[in-house]
Structure 1
């Protein structure tokens, strides 16, 4: 008998999708395995939660590496074309198995000749920034045109998973601008998620939006430099604010959450107490 036998299939799938979409970074497989046991129906899980797998990977900016490429690309809604994803750097589209997290069937992609000079210049400038500031950073820059306007979207992902130390974390940022004249607005959104679960369960989920004026130069490389300068300053200020907030919380909120040690000044060994209780019950 599986958990939730009183629920219909739609309700079960809805609950399963909720669990899956809330999985902390680096822990999707663990959540999936737990949901699989609770649901007790692999066919229903595969058919009903397929969209949840895709939405989770796109929301998390999951990195993927195509065969024969040196750099990873990002799975995001900006690269979704029908049932395939775009890697603008290698100029290929590909299929993606969202459960196994495996790309396949790379094919040449069409090139937007109007947007490509801006996109390539921004990718080059952003890549220098990524290498300097993100140890495991992945960058994907998308470009598209509509009439005389060019839309640029730069997505950044970096993560560090340390399950042996009971924590995982991911950084995601997304920056969008429409090149249409002498100046425009650069819109950004930065998200940070960290999960710490040693003897507890604590998550830090933070995000911040930005709207900054961006000067458009005649030269694509000069415009790209202006773009990166704003990104660098905004993300640096945001990271500094997070660090300061963490230091404050360490002395206030986190300290209040900690339980004081008993009079023995040592942690209670709950396993010994449980064993003693079970042993006493057996004796009676």
Structure 2
């Protein structure tokens, strides 16, 4: 058996810390980071060794970044530049992003638009309308990439006082030949008197015509609306089923006496009489 007092190598410590960070629930990155920081007890090693995990967490979470009072952009792999900065495809600005403090700095004008800017802009217009109509505080960024036009959407609701946090993400890619691939993700954490997480995802494929930018954008969001409505309905129906079957199977149908309590006659029982006094 391994000696529990044996020192763990630095690279193994970093790997463990990075794994904790990457699995931080929505809205709880700071709490996980602070706990890992205490456990590791080596700030220099944590910041240097786990820096890539901080980047990956923010990119995979589609973390919203505030550019100014009116503009937000998502931090995603699609927006990362070769020098590590990120681009806001709407305002055509590049910037540095502090992955620990979640702060933007050094905004500069980007060098020109992509090869499919007309289609990207048309999709962005439809995306912003869609997000405004269907999400409470959603943010979207639309990129012109080598794979095609990529739409990223993020919305979240953090309720730490009620012991739950949740995030919705969706990513839609339209290839130059009109192939559509959608990926939907839901992550919810509930932790009052327990610790329960829901992770759910779904992939959708379809096709549209891309001859006209405006028509293509509208066709794309017809697909998005139908797919996301269907996915949300399926999740709701699944939980209704679970409440009637799975959850009930986790507890006794009858108490250990094998007799149900007749609550209508509770006052005839001794405890009922005592409660009546």
TM-score normalised by L of structure 1: 0.84
Q: Pairwise mapping of residues 178-257 of structure 1 onto structure 2 (< 5 A)?
A: 178-180=175-177, 184-217=178-211, 219-257=212-250
SS across alignment from 1:179 = coil
Distance in 1 (alpha carbons) for counterparts of 2:199 and 2:125: 30
CA distance 1:34–1:139, change in 2 (3 Å):
same
Q: Which moved more, 1:110-119 or 1:128-137?
A: 110-119
Distance in 2 (alpha carbons) for counterparts of 1:22 and 1:174: 20
Distance in 1 (alpha carbons) for counterparts of 2:166 and 2:256: 32
CA distance 1:259–1:134, change in 2 (3 Å):
farther
Distance in 2 (alpha carbons) for counterparts of 1:223 and 1:110: 26
CA distance 1:140–1:4, change in 2 (3 Å):
farther
Provide structure 1 residue ranges, at least 5 long, that are not aligned to the other structure. Answer: 266-284
Distance in 1 (alpha carbons) for counterparts of 2:135 and 2:240: 22
- Conserved 8 A contact 1:4-1:39: no
SS across alignment from 2:8 = coil
Counterpart for residue 46 of structure 1: 47
Counterpart for residue 140 of structure 2: 139
2:142 pairs with 1:158: no
SS across alignment from 2:45 = helix
TM-score normalised by L of structure 2: 0.86
Provide structure 2 residue ranges, at least 5 long, that are not aligned to the other structure. Answer: 262-277
Counterpart for residue 273 of structure 2: none
Q: Say how many residue pairs are matched.
A: 253
Counterpart for residue 18 of structure 2: 17
SS across alignment from 2:50 = helix
Distance in 2 (alpha carbons) for counterparts of 1:123 and 1:114: 15
Kindly name which structure, 1 or 2, has the bigger radius of gyration based on alpha carbons: 2
Distance in 1 (alpha carbons) for counterparts of 2:159 and 2:123: 32
